[in-house]
Structure 1
Amino acid sequence: MEGTGGDLALATLRGHGVREMFTLSGGHVFPLYDAAVKQDVPIYDVRHEQTAVFAAEAVARLGRRPSLAVLTAGPGVTNGISAVTTAKFNGSPVVVLAGRAAMWRWGAGSLQELDHVPILAPVTKHAATVTDTTAIVSDVDDAVRRALGAHRGPVFLDLPLEVVFSRAETEIPDAVAPAVTEPDPDEVARAAALLARAERPVVIAGSDVYAADAFAALRECVEALRIPLFTNGMGRGALPPSHDLAFARSRRTAIKSADVVAVIGTPLDFRLGFGDFGDAQVVHIVDAESQLATHVTTAAAPYGDLRLALTQLASYSGLRADHEVWIASLRTAEDAAAHKAGEEMSAETDPIRPARVYGELRRALDADAITIGDGGDFVSYAGKYLEPSRPGCWLDPGPYGCLGTGMGYAMGARVLAPGRQICVLLGDGAAGFSLMDVESLVRQKLPVVMVCGNNGIWGLEKHPMKAMYGYDVAADLQPGLRYDQVVSALGGAGETVEKAAELGPALKRAFEAGVPYLVNVLTDPADAYPRSANLA
């Protein structure tokens, strides 16, 4: 193929399955836009670079494929760093291509002259500058392969002006699937024996099970060994809520009594109490050696292809002890917690409590709706009350905890799934990070529903600080702000809800609107999520 550096880069990415570009316009990357026009690749542009990267990350995570964000030089790159870091923590194969000031004039003070690579290297799997137009194809191909190899993650390349604008002729290689590591069979056997022979085993599955498309193997495993399953992140929806091995609300009870806990496809981080499961033996199963916990003594720790590991575990069903009494005891605890949650989700209070919002939302969401969490306390309640019934229906910022993902994730989800409901759950604090990008959604005809839990405070900080110090500072927002009017002013629509009885009709109008629509729910600022996780 003969073309500019932009032509060659995009053709290489298309060979790896990249189908769209997310960007904020900048002159340093014009050849990439020109290539997209010529190669019929849709361009989705935004109002802040982090939104472009978040949108690309949503496509990478939900679609299990590489995605593309294009950033202009200097501030374009630095504006995207929080989103790139989020992709690193989530293992998302996002390819970030950036402009760069000309090499031949480096040091003379060109516009937006900055060496991006040392900044991006710590938060990517690979960061480099392409120094020759003829090297673009091989460098981009290598970067994508690194992004897709276990453990997945973002990659970064910047293209100096003379490299991306110049022309060259080179062949576009065929995409090659990354090599797969087979788990050590002895380590798998050790894990299987522990789980099968345990009296009170528990499995906790996370986002990498989704990334590996290993849900069928996970179901086969827990059904063969008859083990209760809990999930977090994009592991949610692994089993339908009606399945007798699907549990969500009794995790603390289960871990307190378990004798073996297997954590699959997620780190032993603050979300799981850093793997401190009392007297239980810990099994950690991940896709790459780099993901194994080093701060916990594990009884077994196979790593490699998760589908293969789970299928191999299922083959040890002949060793299985009787777990039915254990399952029944957890079901009793689960049912009691579900009954309590049901009461909370139907409670008539003034002001509205977040639980009631989710009670109404459960009735409004389709089974295949993609729900996106972007917030602190308000979104924590979503994890408690919403139960996805299938994989690929839940998206949150992951362990990095970055606010402002909402509009980017919504854009990526809508592009990937044009026929499904997309619902963004926003705290009013999170809304301040990205709400201007509603204009990007409106302009590009990407309708989504936003539900804003508006309590007028930074709830995740205000309540803990007051408990620790007896007072709080820097934790109040203006109460009752009309975020719905912001969305309307940007071309969408919305309304404010103050009474619980108004929630259902408002949500119905939102999902029928056909434009970005924000339901601004004034919630009780005194209602604090009962948090148990520690920062460290």
Structure 2
Amino acid sequence: MDGAENSGRPPDGPRHGGDTALAAALRFGVETMFTLSGGHVFPLYDAAVRTGTRIVDVRHEQSAVFAAEATARLARRPGLAVLTAGPGVTNGVSAIATAHFNGSPVVVLGGRAPAARWGSGALQELDHPPLVAPVTKLAATASGPGTLDADVTRAFDTALAPHRGPAFLDIHMDHLFAPAVPQAPRPERPPRAAGVPPLDELAPVLQNARRPVLVLGSDVWTDGAEHAARAFAEEVRVPVVANGQGRGVLPAGHDLLVTRARRTAFGEADLVIVAGTPLDFRLGYGVFGDARVVHLMDHPSALAAHLDATGVAGDLSAVFAALPRFKTDPDWLARLRDAVRAASAADAGLLHSGADPVHPLRVYGELNRILDDDAVVIGDGGDFVSYAGRYVEPKCPGTWLDPGPYGCLGTGLGYAMAARIVRPSAQVVLLLGDGAAGLSLMDADTLVRHRLPVVIIVGNNGAWGLEKHPMRALYGYDVAADLQPACRYDEVVRALGGAGETVTRPADLAAALRRAFAANVPYLVNVVTDPDIAYPRTTTGV
């Protein structure tokens, strides 16, 4: 719901613990509360109504946390999810884990059975913090009515401090309903990470490289370092591979952007500088042949510890400013540019394929013609979304969202609702595998109820393609990998109050997408694609 201008204070002063807790959250720039209704947290709703804070109520708690996470990733301010006690919290655990692996500053406020009845079997009585402790920076229970301001403040400060991540705080129901009381002093704000020391010792490593590559990951965007990263890359003329929300820091078509040639780049480089992303499976665990690896992150805790890499931690804008400059061999850049052109030429025919059933690449050939420069593109799926990662290149930073390294499906609808709220004038496109659709499509109801128009494109191959094809390769057969062929996911959205259509012929794609973008309602284009086409992948991600 929308309300009056948000002052952070109820018009008649705090009446109960919910007012106190929400007021602390609003000081951190929170504008929207994502939730699913539950009696344990009613006072937080009352506080939101009286302060004009927007409430978006979803159909599954994981969508509330995913929406809060997408808010944090797109707006670079903390997201807030409010979950009721017991199953409300446990339903959100996968989404909390996703925020953990993505380094997203999300605060989850959970309801908790009354302190006065604790241990006697109250409804949904569960000690939540031990469940979420492994995937949060803070997992705690508020101490009492007099510490709500300090406890909520600590949760937000913890989530925002480098390396960012989710914080969880549950609050006893009777403490939320209790009359407001004077509050204990707030904790001191933690200092922002200082700059970095001189990096002169890196000068020989960088200046002796002949075939360097720079990888830009999500934290480059999250840390506000996109301008510093681009300036560094353009000054030294280093080829760039984009990863996660690092996509768009160099816009599509930039002469230094060689993501399409990443296999050649990583296979032949003698120096790989990885900024703002872990050295995980997506980057071959940081092993690039014999190349020297320099890892740049916002905090020492995020630096790779599993291999011999030179690590530099600190504010990433300051890190890029402090890096010794060098000059890239222009022949190396030319070699990678040739590889990019060759890869693009090899796939050009498939982007315009007239094959029937539809080749998934044809979807992206048509979509790329329609997308605005500031369009927010969201991926939630396996093979279908993997193609998007290769063939949809953002033109602006902060416009790409995928589940990240945890690989949790079901992020899409939550991400989409947040994107529409955070970027109200931009196109918002959700690319959804038909498998992923089963995990969150009911939240199209949330888009409809809250008037959040989003274009949803389902790549419908009737299978868990990411599992079906590898299992066939291993065993010669597959099981538990088939879905209903040509399932009418568009009719699900239509039944929930949105609109949509099914496309089975490639010639009909362009017109269907134009109708979707013009509809100004949640609109699902259900594209029946060829089930025999598998995305070509390696086991290392390189």
TM-score range for the pair, normalised by the shorter chain length: over 0.9
Deviations 1:239-281 (A, max 9, x none): 1123221122101101111000011000000000111101100
Q: How many residues align?
A: 530
Q: Would the aligned equivalents of 1:271 and 1:533 in 2 still touch at CA under 8 Å?
A: no
Give the aligned partner of residue 218 of structure 2: 207
Is 1:284 the counterpart of 2:284 in the alignment? no
Equivalent of 1:20, from 24, 28, 32? 32
- The aligned counterpart of 1:106 is 118
CA–CA separation in structure 1 for the residues paired with 2:457 and 2:439 = 15
Per the alignment, residue 482 of structure 1 pairs with: 488
CA distance, structure 2, for counterparts of residue 232 and residue 175 of structure 1:
36
Q: How does 1:30-69 map to 2 (within 5 A)?
A: 30-69=42-81
CA contact (8 A) 1:404 1:430 kept: yes
Q: Which residue of 2 aligns with 1:165?
A: 177
Q: Which amino acid aligns with 1:436?
A: M
Worse-superposed segment, 240-249 or 190-199: 190-199
CA distance in 1, matches of 2:400, 2:507: 26
Aligned mates of 1:148, 1:206 — CA distance in 2: 18
Task: Determine helix, strand or coil for the equivalent of 1:404.
Answer: coil
Match of 1:131 in 2: 143
Out of 354, 360, 371, the position equivalent to 1:365 is 371
Q: Which moved more, 1:138-147 or 1:164-173?
A: 164-173
Q: What residue number does 1:436 align with?
A: 442
Tell me how far apart the structure 2 counterparts of residues 476 and 330 of structure 1 sit (CA, whole Å). Answer: 39
Deviation at 1:342, TM superposition (A): 1.9
Structure 2: how far apart are the matches of 1:32 and 1:322?
55
CA distance in 2 between partners of 1:335 and 1:178 (Å): 48
Which whole-Å CA distance do the structure 1 matches of 2:419 and 2:321 have between them? 30
Equivalent of residue 337 in structure 1, options 323, 340, 343: 343
1:29 counterpart (19, 41, 58): 41
Contact kept in structure 2, 1:12 and 1:137, CA below 8 Å: yes
Residue 521 of structure 2 corresponds to 515
Q: 1:48 to 1:305 in 2, by over 3 A?
A: same
Q: Deviations over 1:56-87 (max 9, x none)?
A: 11101101011110000000000000001000
- Where structure 1 has 5 or more consecutive residues not aligned to the other structure, the ranges are none
Does 1:265 pair with 2:315? no
Could you tell me which residue of structure 2 aligns to residue 375 of structure 1? 381
Match of 1:305 in 2: 315
* Per-residue deviation, 1:196: 3.3
Which one of the candidate residues 514, 532, 535 is aligned to 2:538? 532
- 2:358 & 2:541 partners in 1: Cα distance? 29
Where does residue 416 of structure 2 map in the other structure?
410
**Post-superposition, which runs of at least 4 consecutive aligned residues in structure 1 deviate over 4 A?**
171-178
Structure 2 vs 1, CA of residues 172 and 230 (structure 1 numbering), >3 Å: closer, same or farther? farther
AA paired with 1:19? E
In structure 1, C-alpha distance between the alignment counterparts of 2:390 and 2:530, rounded to whole Å: 18
Q: For residues 108 and 181 of structure 1, what CA distance do their matches in structure 2 show?
A: 45
Structure-2 residue corresponding to 1:467: 473
CA distance in 1, matches of 2:185, 2:28: 10
Q: Which amino acid aligns with 2:210?
A: E
Deviation at 1:225, TM superposition (A): 1.7
Residue ranges of structure 2 left out of the alignment (5+ in a row): 1-12
Q: CA 1:455/1:499 → structure 2, altered by over 3 Å: closer, same or farther?
A: same
* Residues 1:370 and 1:321: Cα distance change in structure 2 (over 3 Å): closer
Contact 2:146 2:181 in 1 (8 A): yes
1:208 and 1:266 in contact (8 A); partners too:
yes
Percentage of matched positions with identical amino acids: 58
Cα deviations by residue, 1:9-30 (Å, 9 ceiling, x for unpaired): 1111111111110000000000
Q: Deviations over 1:405-434 (max 9, x none)?
A: 111000111111111110000000000000
Q: 2:400 aligns with which of 394, 401, 407?
A: 394
User: Which residue identity is paired with 1:146?
Assistant: T
Output the amino acid matched with 2:193.
Answer: T
Any idea what the Cα deviations from partners look like across 1:477-529, whole Å, max 9, x if unmatched?
11010000111000000000011110000000000001100000000010000
Q: 1:8 aligns with which of 3, 16, 20?
A: 20
Give me the TM-score of the superposition, normalised by structure 2: 0.95
Change (3 A) 1:225 1:182: farther
What amino acid is the match of 2:485? P
1:248 to 259, 262, 275: 259
Correspondent of 1:295 among 306, 314, 321? 306
Question: Is the contact between residue 413 and residue 440 of structure 2 (CA under 8 Å) also seen in structure 1?
Answer: yes
> How has the CA–CA distance of structure 1 residues 201 and 535 changed in structure 2, closer, same or farther, with 3 Å as cutoff?
closer
SS at match of 1:398: coil
- SS in structure 2 of the partner of residue 145 of structure 1: helix
Query: In the superposition, relative to structure 1, how do residues 111 and 269 fare at CA in structure 2: closer, same or farther (>3 Å)?
Result: same
Counterpart Cα distance in 1 of 2:141 and 2:183: 20
Q: Helix, strand or coil for the counterpart of 2:312?
A: coil
Output the CA distance in 1 between the equivalents of 2:222 and 2:467.
32
CA contact (8 A) 1:69 1:97 kept: yes
Q: Secondary structure of the residue that 1:380 maps to in structure 2?
A: helix
The 2-side partners of 1:165 and 1:189 are apart by: 58
Give the Cα–Cα distance (whole angstroms) in 2 for the partners of residues 144 and 229 of structure 1.
Answer: 34
Deviation for aligned residue 1:175: 10
Distance 1:82 1:7 in 2: 28
The residue type equivalent to 2:82 in the other structure is: V
Does the 8 Å contact 1:137/1:170 carry over to 2? no
Q: Given residue 16 of structure 2, which amino acid in structure 1 is its aligned partner?
A: T
- AA in 1 matched with 2:23: A
CA distance in 1, matches of 2:124, 2:338: 61
Native 8 Å contact 2:218 2:246 kept in 1: yes
The alignment yields a C-alpha RMSD, in angstroms, of 1.6
Conserved? CA contact 1:222–1:228, under 8 Å: yes
Letter in 2 for 1:50: Q
Q: Deviation string for 1:342-366 (max 9, x for gaps)?
A: 2221111011111110000001111
SS in 2 for 1:301: strand
Secondary structure, aligned partner of 1:261:
strand
